[in-house]
Amino acid sequence: VATIEKKIGVLGAGNMGEAFVGALVRSKVSEPAMIAVGDVRKERLDFMHATYGVSPFTDNFKLFNDCAVVILAVKPQQTEEVLKQIAGHSGYEIGARKLFISIVAGIPIRKIEELLYAPLVEGLRKKLPIIRVMPNTPALVLAGMSGMSANANATQEDLETTRTILRALGKVMEFKEADLDAVTALSGSGPAYVFYFIESMIAGGLAAGLEPHAAETLTLQTLEGALKLLRERKERPEDLRRKVTSPGGTTEAALTVMESHQVKQNIVAAIVAAARRSKELSN
């Protein structure tokens, strides 16, 4: 694996912050001595230190100053306060180059630039590249899908550092920032759609007369199996679907109901609505 020799700081030791720290340590992309975490909750810092051996910081500005890569993982409504604690500090300056990565949903790069760049002259801004990332919750089990978008100050090396971090949590793709709303709508919120589909299949199994345990087992293994078939056969989903749909058969009976209720069109509309909402929230 590619490793990162720079000191990495994670601001916000919640669900996502912990996912990043855990992935960096377990994948050996970084090591505990090179990782710092900051949080307002003392018990979270104690837990992170005890579990991963990383250094705890109660002072966000100190953490920012101490690290060459800073990952912002607080809630959207906490973001402005944290950025102000850093950029509003009397000792705020950029000495060595520092990569700032935000995983905060709905906060545009422009907003982070406004707060972090305001006190800096142009030459120093260039030393503080900003990359915005949209991860998803399967990152918690190292099967995440992240979309990333960088500002003009990011170099190839900054992008590679970010990719290396995100690969420890799953997969990563690059986008222009305007596309992050669609990324949010598809992979960010996507796990919820899949859970909804799973709930529906289980409910269908029950309605057809199965016990809950059987309905659940059949549903989950079918999902895993279908995904594996899709990946290994490298065929298009619509082709695989046609193959299992014989005329007048059981699958066709189900798909006829789905088509008559425009299930596909409705899922498309749902994802478009999520993208629109993401755009509204970040304005």
Q: Check binding of 136 to ligand NAP (CB under 6 A).
A: yes
Residue with tokens 């006190």: 119
Q: Check binding of 13 to ligand NAP (CB under 6 A).
A: yes
CB of 164: closest distance to ligand NAP in angstroms? 19
From residue 87 to residue 116, the character string flagging contacts with ligand NAP as x (rule: CB under 6 A) and all else as - is: ----------------xxx-----------
Burial status of residue 7 (CB atoms within 10 A of its CB: 0-12, 13-18, 19 or more) = middle
Nearest one of 165, 75, 161, 80 to 114, comparing CA atoms: 80
How many residues bind to ligand NAP according to rule CB under 6 A? 28
From residue 183 to residue 222, the character string flagging contacts with ligand NAP as x (rule: CB under 6 A) and all else as - is: -----x----------------------------------
Phi-psi region of 248 (alpha: psi -120 to 50; beta: other; left: phi over 0): left
Is 106:75 a contact under the CB 8 Å cutoff? no
Tokens of 103: 């995983």
Q: Check binding of 144 to ligand NAP (CB under 6 A).
A: no
Q: Check binding of 60 to ligand NAP (CB under 6 A).
A: yes
Q: Name which position in 4, 8, 10, 12 contacts ligand NAP (CB under 6 A).
A: 12
Q: Name which position in 75, 84, 243, 264 contacts ligand NAP (CB under 6 A).
A: 75
Q: Check binding of 42 to ligand NAP (CB under 6 A).
A: no
Report the relative pairing of strands 99-102 and 69-72 from DSSP bridges: parallel
Tokens of 198: 């799973």
CB of 7: closest distance to ligand NAP in angstroms? 18
For residues 110-128, b (16+ Cβ closer than 10 Å) or e, as one string? ebbbebbbeebeeeebeeb
Q: Check binding of 76 to ligand NAP (CB under 6 A).
A: yes
Residues at the interface with ligand NAP (CB under 6 A):
11-17, 38-41, 44, 60, 73-76, 78, 81-82, 103-105, 134-137, 188
